[in-house]
């Protein structure tokens, strides 16, 4: 199996014991991820080679699981699908242990910093600390790149066996244009090499292997590697391996990434490499001194709900697909390697069902089987929808929930944050209602914080103790404003909290005084508003576990 499997198309080459619907469902998630997270059913039909009825049943099942939603005619990935990738990243532990060091280095250097792991003959990002500039690096957590076009790839290849090199050569011969690496820029003109190396020709032309093997030898000798515009003209990077203290092998690779208008390759070697090496030394100390993960109880009965869903949805719910995907979430922090019995116990599946799911995942490259009869997740799990969602924002997460709330209560809704000085709110998302008399607030508009329900919720949670008059708002968990900003305008707002419990935004519903009394606002609007805030927070907590979610 290579790093660029296309085995989910039409089910070709699937082992006899594999779960066919699971193979096809994984294929749908992969095609959605490759397309940026949104495709129409007909486009999915063409991309997967599946019948339209099969696509419809798979997407209905994934929607029931919270992995996709139907938006008009399109199927759209939701933050819920990130739970699959979160299971891998939590089991890996490296992002949790080393991410803060990478973020601090990015702040120190004012450059993007990434952590990557090996994925067979490719490299896959597990952490990104990206500078927000007009010209910035667009790689995301979960993106897969060919090893030979990156600096981390040379460092990983320094540990390859002959079987690894054979697989790499086969992949290059079978995919000369990198078509199975959606995150890689198209292969075009020869890349610009370091001054003392020959140009790197496009894949499939003589000399490509020679150039890569020379870079690998240099990486093995020097203990670091350079990408001087190998992946794309103008992009440069320097990489250093982070070694596992127990085995001495490369656990991951830390890279500083820039562009030639800011740093030349020589600059990276002289000015940034020493500081990268110092950060990597600190990372290796962190790995050496990190306490073992606390054994956490395995989740119980993850698949128990599938029977009820099957009874409710009937033929439209593919139970074997749902059960197969829940197997992936049995892994996690403190549960990096599980036996068949462990998986069956965690999911509530029979051993036979769990075994077939694990065999299917092994065939798809999502799970690796080991000699001690345990299984572990592979980086390939991040293929299942993680990259397009790993660089999202709170407004994007909130928008579908705001639309659903507006449709439910027939009133306009909005999301807002405090401005840096704390005197105003800024609207970041909203959904209107089909009324003649309605509130229309433009995204980006600002209003005085103290005069709005949104602002009062935000202000109530920014100070300890809260500002004068906001103690009650904090205690009751909502703010109700009656015709203070404008005559006839009433609104009620609740907070949106991040994973730490900190209020990062507020959500409101606005109405006209002639339509709802104050009592009706609390009785009818507040419960729906709180339920919507819960949905937004759930997505925020899932999406931000290992990825950064910007507030606006």
What is the β-pairing status of strands 489-497 and 122-129? unpaired
Say yes or no: 405 and 521 in one domain.
Answer: yes
DSSP single-letter state for residue 8: T
Tokens, residue 12 = 């070709």
Kindly give, in sequence order, each residue whose CB lies less than 8 Å from that of residue 203, ignoring residues fewer than 6 positions away. 172, 175, 176, 177, 178, 187
Say yes or no: 214 and 72 in one domain.
Answer: no
What pLDDT, on a 0 to 100 scale, did the predictor assign at position 514?
Answer: 82
Say yes or no: 461 and 481 in one domain.
Answer: yes
**Region 281-292 average pLDDT:** 97
Domain contains 13: no
Half-sphere exposure of 418 (CA within 13 A, CB side): 21
Q: Sheet harboring 38-39: ordered strands across?
A: 38-39, 74-77, 68-71
21 alpha carbon, distance to own chain's centre? 24
CATH code for position 56: 1.10.10.10
Say yes or no: 376 and 426 in one domain.
Answer: no
End residue of a domain, out of 225, 260, 289: 289
Say yes or no: 240 and 356 in one domain.
Answer: no
Q: Kindly report, residue by residue over 216-272, the tens digit of the pLDDT.
A: 999 999 999 999 999 888 999 999 999 999 999 999 999 999 988 888 888 899 999
Say yes or no: 123 and 261 in one domain.
Answer: yes
The answer to whether residues 497 and 503 touch, using CB atoms and an 8 Å cutoff, is yes
Domain contains 549: no
Say yes or no: 146 and 264 in one domain.
Answer: yes
The pTM of this model reads 0.91
Q: Kindly report, residue by residue over 296-342, the tens digit of the pLDDT.
A: 776 766 777 887 788 788 888 999 999 999 999 999 999 999 999 99
Say yes or no: 472 and 435 in one domain.
Answer: yes
Taking 80 as the threshold, does the pLDDT of residue 388 lie above it?
Answer: yes
Q: Which residues constitute the domain of residue 216?
A: 94-192+204-289
The answer to whether residues 411 and 433 touch, using CB atoms and an 8 Å cutoff, is yes
- pLDDT greater at residue 479 or residue 488: 479
* Count of structural domains, the chain: 3
Domain contains 322: yes
Taking 70 as the threshold, does the pLDDT of residue 40 lie above it?
Answer: yes
CATH code for position 115: 3.30.450.40
Q: Which residues pair with 393 in a beta bridge?
A: 550
Q: Kindly report, residue by residue over 96-110, the tens digit of the pLDDT.
A: 999 999 999 999 999
Tokens, residue 159 = 């540990």
Kindly give, in sequence order, each residue whose CB lies less than 8 Å from that of residue 434, ignoring residues fewer than 6 positions away. 410
Helix (H, G, I), strand (E, B) or coil at 411: coil
The answer to whether residues 429 and 392 touch, using CB atoms and an 8 Å cutoff, is no
Say yes or no: 259 and 111 in one domain.
Answer: yes
The residue count of the chain comes to 552
Q: Kindly report, residue by residue over 162-201, the tens digit of the pLDDT.
A: 999 999 999 999 998 888 898 988 775 444 444 444 444 4
Domain contains 2: no
Domain contains 433: yes
Taking 80 as the threshold, does the pLDDT of residue 157 lie above it?
Answer: yes
End residue of a domain, out of 368, 390, 412: 390
**Region 272-278 average pLDDT:** 97
Helix (H, G, I), strand (E, B) or coil at 134: coil
The answer to whether residues 317 and 64 touch, using CB atoms and an 8 Å cutoff, is yes
Kindly give, in sequence order, each residue whose CB lies less than 8 Å from that of residue 120, ignoring residues fewer than 6 positions away. 1, 2, 3, 164, 167, 365
Say yes or no: 145 and 221 in one domain.
Answer: yes
Give percent helix, percent strand, percent coil of the chain, each to the nearest 5: 45, 20, 35
Say yes or no: 437 and 476 in one domain.
Answer: yes
Domain contains 11: no
Q: What is the DSSP string of 367-406?
A: EEE-TTSEEEE-GGGGGTTHHHHTT-BHHHHHHHHHHHHH
End residue of a domain, out of 337, 361, 390: 390
Tokens, residue 473 = 């708002």
Say yes or no: 219 and 325 in one domain.
Answer: no
- pLDDT greater at residue 443 or residue 193: 443
Domain contains 1: no
Domain contains 252: yes
């Amino acid at each position: 199996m290579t790093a660029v499997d296309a085995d989910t198309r039409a089910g070709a080459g699937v082992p006899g014991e594999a779960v066919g619907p699971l193979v096809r469902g994984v294929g749908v998630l992969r095609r959605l991820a490759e397309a940026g997270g949104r495709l129409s059913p007909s486009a999915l039909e063409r991309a997967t080679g599946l019948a339209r009825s099969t696509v419809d049943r798979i997407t209905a099942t994934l929607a029931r699981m919270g992995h996709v939603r139907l938006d008009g005619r399109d199927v759209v990935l939701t933050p819920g699908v990130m739970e699959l990738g979160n299971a891998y990243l939590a089991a890996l532990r490296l992002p949790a242990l080393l991410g803060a060091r990478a973020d601090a280095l990015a702040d120190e250097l004012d450059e993007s910093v990434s952590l990557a792991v090996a994925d067979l003959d490719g490299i896959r990002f597990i952490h990104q600390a990206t500078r927000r500039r007009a010209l910035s690096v667009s790689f995301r957590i979960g993106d897969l790149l060919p090893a030979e076009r990156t600096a981390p790839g040379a460092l990983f290849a320094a540990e390859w066996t002959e079987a690894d090199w054979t697989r790499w050569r086969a992949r290059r011969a079978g995919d000369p244009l990198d078509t199975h690496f959606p995150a890689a820029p198209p292969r075009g003109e020869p890349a610009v090499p370091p001054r003392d190396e020959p140009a790197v020709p496009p894949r499939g032309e003589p000399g490509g292997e020679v150039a890569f093997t020379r870079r690998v030898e240099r990486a093995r000798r020097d203990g670091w590697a350079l990408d001087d515009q190998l992946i794309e003209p103008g992009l440069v990077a320097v990489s250093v391996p982070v070694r596992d203290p127990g085995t001495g092998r490369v656990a991951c690779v830390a890279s500083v990434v820039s562009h030639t208008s800011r740093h030349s390759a020589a600059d990276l070697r002289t000015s940034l490499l020493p500081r990268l090496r110092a950060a990597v030394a600190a990372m290796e100390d962190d790995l050496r001194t990190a306490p073992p993960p606390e054994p956490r109880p395995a989740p119980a009965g993850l698949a128990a709900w599938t029977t009820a869903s099957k009874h409710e949805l009937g033929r439209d719910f593919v139970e074997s697909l749902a059960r197969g995907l829940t197997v992936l979430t049995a892994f996690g922090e403190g549960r990096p390697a599980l036996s068949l019995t462990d998986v069956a116990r965690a999911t509530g599946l029979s051993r036979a069902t769990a075994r077939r799911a694990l065999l299917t995942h092994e065939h798809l490259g999502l799970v690796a089987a080991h000699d001690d009869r345990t299984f572990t997740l592979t980086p390939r799990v991040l293929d299942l929808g993680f990259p397009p969602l790993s660089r999202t924002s709170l407004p994007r997460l909130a928008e579908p929930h705001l639309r659903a709330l507006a449709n439910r209560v027939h009133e306009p809704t909005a999301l807002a944050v405090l401005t840096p000085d704390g005197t105003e709110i800024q609207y970041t998302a909203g959904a209107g209602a089909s009324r003649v008399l309605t509130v229309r607030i433009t995204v980006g508009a600002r209003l005085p914080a103290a005069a709005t329900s949104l602002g009062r919720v935000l202000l109530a949670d920014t100070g300890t103790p809260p500002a004068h008059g906001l103690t009650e708002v904090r205690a009751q968990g909502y703010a109700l404003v009656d015709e203070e900003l404008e005559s006839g305008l009433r609104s009620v707002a609740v907070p949106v909290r991040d994973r730490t419990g900190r209020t990062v935004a507020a959500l409101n519903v606005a109405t006209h005084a002639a339509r709802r009394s104050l009592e009706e606002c609390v009785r009818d609007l507040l419960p729906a508003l709180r339920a919507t805030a819960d949905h937004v927070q759930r997505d925020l907590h899932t999406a931000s576990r290992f990825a950064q979610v910007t507030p606006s």
